[in-house]
Amino acid sequence: MLLLLAAWLAAPAMAQDPSPSLLSRVADHAELLAQRAPSALAEETLEQRRVPGAGARIRIGKSASPSPELRLGRTIVSEYTVAPLKDSESKDLVEFRQVISVDGRPVQSTESARHALSLGIQSAAERARKRMLEDFARHGLVDVATDYALILLLFTNRGQEQLTILPSDEEIVGADDAAVFSWSQSAPGGGELIFAGKQAARIPLAGKLWVRKSDGLPLRISVWAAQSVSGRSIRDEATIDYVMSPHGFVVPAAVVHHHVVDGELRTENQYRYGPFRLFSTDIRIRFPSSEPQ
């Protein structure tokens, strides 16, 4: 065993390992996303499929195959952006959204949603965000999963210092050759944030990272977290696909999240994101005429 380990450790000396270069490029893309995402807005479509009778809970985070028992529960379209919480020491980015329609029925106009988003971002306090999440869940959703689209932000230069990242495999993603890395959180204090009543706890995350071999573009990230609650095994897992936006930074294209209880898939959330537009060039937030200017 010791000889095998020594041979594995010596391998980079015999053949140049591209991993550091690829991970450095991933960090560059993550840093750029952190800089540019707060000035961008997109339309988010959530389709939730679930086992009838699943209990409601809100889960903030940062695969099991679909079960025949899953049924389409809700289709929710929202205006979506990200911003740092002003009352947070870390200033980490989190998601903000305002619902436009539920199952095709309008809830508010796009202009009203953008106005509400702008007010929420200006305050950007944890209580304001939690209120938005509660409004989001009130539309009949269960096992709401948020912030998975931002998982790339774990891979900034500073973030990678908090992770254990190991080369894993090579695969094809779409038309691209990708290097695959396994990763896990190695520092305390991180993980998926779970709310259960008034109690909050963080669960360590782990997953895989797919990186385009030609230029280090992050293509896909998978993530999972497991816990035991009242004797039941709870596992949340998600896969996030990323694309390069016309504005020159990587953005989420889709998220598929599974909530698994005792090995059985209970809820599937599929998020899709329209083109990201910049506030400064693509969007002008107009306040409804019925509201004070």
Q: Residue 129 has what pLDDT?
A: 74
Q: In this structure, what is the dihedral angle of CA atoms 54, 60, 66, 68, given to the nearest 10 degrees?
A: 10
pTM above 0.85, yes or no: no
Q: Residue 184 has what pLDDT?
A: 94
Alpha-helical segments (H) within 154-233: 157-160
Q: Residue 51 has what pLDDT?
A: 78
Following DSSP, what letter does each residue of 233-289 receive, concatenated?
EEEEEEEEEEEE-TTSSEEEEEEEEEEEETTEEEEEEEEEE---EETTTT------T
Q: Residue 224 has what pLDDT?
A: 95
Angle CA(187)–CA(149)–CA(61) in degrees, nearest 5?
Answer: 45
Q: Residue 103 has what pLDDT?
A: 94
Beta strands in the chain (DSSP E): 40-50, 58-60, 71-84, 93-102, 105-106, 144-146, 163-173, 176-185, 192-196, 199-203, 206-212, 218-229, 232-244, 250-261, 264-273, 277-278
- Counting beta carbons within 10 angstroms of the beta carbon of residue 129, is it exposed (0 to 12), middle (13 to 18) or buried (19 or more)? buried
Does the CA dihedral 82-60-174-156 come out positive or negative? positive
Q: Residue 203 has what pLDDT?
A: 73
Q: Residue 116 has what pLDDT?
A: 84
Q: Which residues of the chain have pLDDT under 70?
A: 1-17, 53-68, 87-88, 90, 123-125, 187-202, 280-293
Interatomic CA distance for residues 278 and 69, integer angstroms:
40
Helix (H) or strand (E) holding 291: none
Angle CA(95)–CA(256)–CA(80) in degrees, nearest 5?
Answer: 25
Average pLDDT, whole number, for the chain?
Answer: 80
Q: What is the Cα gyration radius of the chain? A: 20
Q: Residue 9 has what pLDDT?
A: 35
Is residue 275 within 8 A of residue 79, CB to CB? The reply is no
